[in-house]
């Protein structure tokens, strides 16, 4: 066997294995999506049905029974607002860490990360009591604040590792030309750090959209997001798979599709400077 | 410091202030309240019983037989998921590192589970994959002539580890693939000419190059997996017994199901201590890799 032939057959084997793994990993999502278009009887058929006449009945029923759009709007609002608020607080901090580091910079960064390691459940009772006393229980405002704080350490860290790679000389040059802090920010940091800012924002959007702990514990009908809508379909209706699938597809489709399109952008900052 | 920038020393501090002060509040206020609650009698069902509790809540929480199980389950869940995702993540990343037909699509399919929210992940696996009668896995088992497994009853923690690994494996793959792309091609080719085997390349070239990426994956996963909650909440509810109860879920049970805020707060203090032990351990172990 010549070298070329050998490497060709190796590629065939390698790509088949890769495809197999990818399909296995994706299979649950595929199955969920297909089930959403079945009738309840088809959904629990053994062996699983793969060819059938698709129905939209489940989707209309989910919207009628539990007002999907209300929860979806809550999800959009809380994840977008918390991401924007987080960026607003984190960008200046990361800028300061990256370009005027002091002896304490590393320690402060580590401390910020350590707050993220404290389990949320440790803060659950106090936050619950505080929200109750201030009348913020089951409000979107409370969720926005909590999502922001929850993601802030990761945001600062990601932005810091992105900004650090911007050459200092560019800022010095800008300063020579008489640029003030705002000009530095607007004309140097923003364009050069855009990649890092975008990927930080994208990750936090995903994390906020998928957040379940605080949503399950602090909200009910008013401020509930899609995570809680899905959970409400869990227990007694356990065997109504078609409806459960429909509500799940409705809950994950926006963010999964969003993730597909932004994955290249997302990855850049996710490596936290681990990749040069 | 060396940077002449930002004129005074005041400006950089002002830029830091919002992030540092809000995070400080976010940490200190709940922490202080939790510690306070842990030393008083505070049961939502018994508003008449008040006053100092001394160490009673701590005693109550520690002597709860579920406590040891919960700590063990928390660490087992964390350890196995990290191990599974790092090992398989590296293997898959190496597999799809070089171009092949449809690589872009494979990547998209592979990373999708990362975007699935935990509640959907849990329900999807509990019902459609792991149901012992109708589930896909039961069908696979029957196809091979095996007896289908009742996952939620017989392997509750194992089932949750599978769900969480399914979610986090894509994350590891994503980071590792990106890290592999910056491998020094010339060095690889040179080592090939010198007759290095693939295993030797893995050991002496790939692994050292991946050290930082592995550290990042471990770090992020520890942050998120110490307090797994939603997956347990919607599937096993910690059971059967305490078989799949982790510390986060145990505290939740005390606080919101048994209404014993005092005991739950004592548990929270334990959770915080455990998290800090893990954090210190982690920073010692891999902190060096994260520095420049």
Split into its structural domains, chain B has a count of: 1
Tell me if A275 and B26 make a contact (CB, 8 A cut-off).
Answer: no
CB-CB: which of A31, A130, A227 is closest to B117?
A227
Closest to B114 measured CA to CA, from A266, A15, A87: A266
Q: Would you state the pLDDT for residue B2?
A: 42
Q: Would you state the pLDDT for residue A276?
A: 47
- Confirm if A125 and B265 have CB atoms less than 8 A apart: yes
Mean pLDDT of chain A: 85
Closest chain B residue to A184, measured at CA: B6
Architecture of domain A67-270: Orthogonal Bundle (1.10)
Q: Would you state the pLDDT for residue A235?
A: 59
CA B81, CA B25: separation in Å to the nearest integer? Answer: 32
Q: Is residue A205 pLDDT above 60, yes or no?
A: yes
The size of the A-B interface in CB pairs under 8 A is: 310
Q: Would you state the pLDDT for residue B222?
A: 86
Q: Span A60-65, mean pLDDT? A: 85
Q: What is the ipTM of this complex?
A: 0.87
Tell me if B95 and A227 make a contact (CB, 8 A cut-off).
Answer: no
Q: Would you state the pLDDT for residue B36?
A: 86
**pLDDT tens series, chain B, 292 aa:** 444 444 567 888 888 888 889 988 888 888 888 888 888 877 777 777 777 777 877 887 788 888 888 889 989 999 999 999 999 999 999 998 888 888 889 999 999 999 999 989 998 998 888 888 888 898 889 889 888 888 888 888 999 999 999 999 999 998 898 888 888 788 888 888 888 888 888 888 888 888 888 888 888 898 888 878 888 888 878 777 778 888 888 888 877 777 778 888 888 888 888 888 887 777 776 666 655 4
CB-CB: which of B3, B22, B278 is closest to A168?
B3
The answer, for A274 touching chain B at a CB cutoff of 8 Å, is yes
Which H or E element spans position A83?
Answer: helix A68-99
Range scoring the smallest mean pLDDT among A95-109, A139-153, B64-78:
A95-109
- Give bridge partners of residue B52 from the DSSP assignment: B40
The CATH 1.10.3720.10 domain(s) of chain A lie at 67-270
CB-CB: which of B116, B251, B261 is closest to A252?
B116
Count other C-beta atoms under 10 Å from residue A66's C-beta: 16
DSSP 8-state symbol, B52: B
Closest to B167 measured CA to CA, from B207, B115, B132: B115
Tell me if A227 and B170 make a contact (CB, 8 A cut-off).
Answer: no
The answer, for A241 touching chain B at a CB cutoff of 8 Å, is yes
Count other C-beta atoms under 10 Å from residue A61's C-beta: 15
Q: Which residue has the tokens 């009945």?
A: A57
Give me the half-sphere count of Cα atoms (radius 13 Å) on the Cβ side of residue A231. 28
Distance to chain B for A267, nearest Cα, Å:
7
CA B113, CA B166: separation in Å to the nearest integer? Answer: 7
CA B135, CA B148: separation in Å to the nearest integer? Answer: 9
Q: Span A122-148, mean pLDDT? A: 88
CA A55, CA A105: separation in Å to the nearest integer? Answer: 57
> What band does A114 get if pLDDT is binned at 50, 70 and 90?
confident
* Each residue's pLDDT tens digit, A118-129: 777 778 888 888
Q: Would you state the pLDDT for residue A141?
A: 92
Residues of chain A found within 8 Å of residue B6, distances taken between Cβ atoms: 96, 99-100, 181
CA of residue B234 relative to chain centroid, distance: 17
The answer, for A179 touching chain B at a CB cutoff of 8 Å, is no
Closest to B74 measured CA to CA, from B292, B209, B264, B242: B242
**Higher pLDDT, residue A235 or A12:** A12
- Give bridge partners of residue B40 from the DSSP assignment: B52
Q: Would you state the pLDDT for residue A166?
A: 83
The answer, for A104 touching chain B at a CB cutoff of 8 Å, is no
Q: Would you state the pLDDT for residue A271?
A: 65
* Each residue's pLDDT tens digit, A149-197: 999 998 998 898 888 888 888 877 887 887 777 888 888 888 888 888 9
User: Which CATH number fits the domain that encloses residue B200?
Assistant: 1.10.3720.10
> Per this entry, what is the length of chain A?
276
Q: Span A105-120, mean pLDDT? A: 79
Closest to B229 measured CA to CA, from A31, A75, A218: A218
Closest to A121 measured CA to CA, from B221, B226, B113, B8: B226
CA B50, CA B269: separation in Å to the nearest integer? Answer: 20
What are the helix (H) ranges across B124-252?
136-143, 151-154, 156-181, 185-193, 198-201, 207-225, 230-234, 247-252
- Confirm if A63 and A275 have CB atoms less than 8 A apart: no
DSSP 8-state symbol, A12: H
Tell me if A241 and B127 make a contact (CB, 8 A cut-off).
Answer: yes
Q: Would you state the pLDDT for residue A274?
A: 55
Q: Determine the structural domain holding residue B149 and report its residue range.
A: 65-290
Tell me if B110 and A121 make a contact (CB, 8 A cut-off).
Answer: no
Token pair in block for residue A164: 């650090």
B12 within a domain of the structure (yes/no)? no
């Amino acid at each position: 066997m010549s070298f070329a032939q050998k490497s060709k057959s190796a590629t065939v084997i390698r790509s088949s294995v890769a495809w197999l793994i990818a399909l296995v990993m994706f299979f649950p999502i595929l199955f969920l999506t297909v089930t959403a278009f079945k009738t309840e009887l088809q959904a629990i058929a053994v062996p699983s049905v793969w060819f059938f006449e698709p129905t939209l009945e489940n989707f209309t029923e989910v919207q009628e029974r539990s007002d999907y759009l209300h929860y979806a709007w809550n999800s959009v609002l809380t994840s977008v607002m918390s991401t924007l608020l987080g960026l607003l607080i984190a960008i200046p901090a990361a800028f300061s860490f990256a370009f005027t580091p002091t002896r304490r910079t590393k320690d402060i960064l580590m401390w910020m990360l350590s707050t993220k390691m404290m389990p949320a459940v440790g803060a659950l009772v106090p936050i619950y009591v505080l929200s109750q006393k201030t009348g913020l229980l089951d409000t979107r405002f409370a969720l926005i604040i909590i999502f922001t704080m929850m993601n802030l350490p990761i945001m600062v860290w990601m932005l810091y590792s992105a900004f650090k790679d911007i050459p200092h000389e560019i800022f010095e040059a800008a300063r020579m030309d008489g640029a003030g802090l705002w000009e530095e920010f607007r004309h140097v940091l923003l364009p050069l750090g855009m990649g890092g800012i975008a990927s930080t924002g994208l990750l936090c959007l995903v994390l906020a959209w998928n957040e379940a702990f605080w949503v399950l514990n602090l909200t009910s009908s008013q401020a509930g997001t899609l995570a809680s809508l899905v959970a409400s379909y869990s227990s007694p209706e356990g065997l109504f798979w078609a409806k459960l699938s429909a509500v799940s597809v409705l809950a994950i489709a926006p963010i999964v599709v969003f993730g597909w399109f932004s994955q290249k952008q997302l990855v850049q900052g996710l490596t936290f400077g681990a990749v040069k | 410091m060396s940077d002449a920038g930002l004129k005074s020393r005041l400006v950089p501090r002002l830029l830091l202030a919002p992030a540092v002060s809000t995070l400080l509040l976010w940490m200190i206020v709940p922490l202080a309240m939790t510690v306070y609650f842990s030393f008083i009698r505070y049961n939502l069902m018994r508003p008449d019983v008040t006053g100092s509790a001394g160490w009673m809540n701590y005693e109550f929480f520690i002597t709860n037989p579920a406590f040891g199980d919960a700590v063990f389950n928390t660490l087992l869940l964390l350890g196995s998921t990290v191990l599974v995702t790092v090992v398989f993540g590296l293997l898959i990343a190496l597999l799809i590192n070089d171009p092949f037909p449809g690589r872009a699509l494979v990547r998209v399919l592979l990373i999708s589970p990362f975007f699935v929210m935990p509640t959907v992940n849990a329900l999807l696996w509990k019902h459609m994959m792991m149901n012992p009668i109708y589930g896909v896995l039961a069908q696979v088992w029957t196809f091979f002539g095996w007896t289908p497994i009742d996952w939620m009853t017989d392997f509750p923690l194992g089932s949750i580890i599978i769900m969480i690994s399914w979610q986090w494996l894509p994350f590891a793959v994503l980071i590792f693939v990106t890290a592999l792309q910056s491998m020094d091609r010339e060095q690889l080719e040179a080592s090939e000419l010198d007759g290095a085997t693939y295993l030797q390349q893995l050991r002496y070239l790939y692994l050292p190059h991946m050290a930082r990426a592995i550290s990042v994956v471990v770090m992020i996963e520890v942050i998120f997996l110490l307090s797994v909650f939603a997956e347990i909440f919607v599937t096993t509810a910690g059971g059967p017994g305490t078989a799949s109860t982790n510390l986060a879920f145990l505290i939740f049970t005390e606080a919101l199901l048994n209404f014993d805020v005092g005991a739950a707060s004592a548990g929270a203090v334990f959770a915080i201590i455990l998290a800090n032990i893990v954090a210190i351990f982690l920073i010692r172990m891999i902190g060096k890799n994260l520095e420049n």
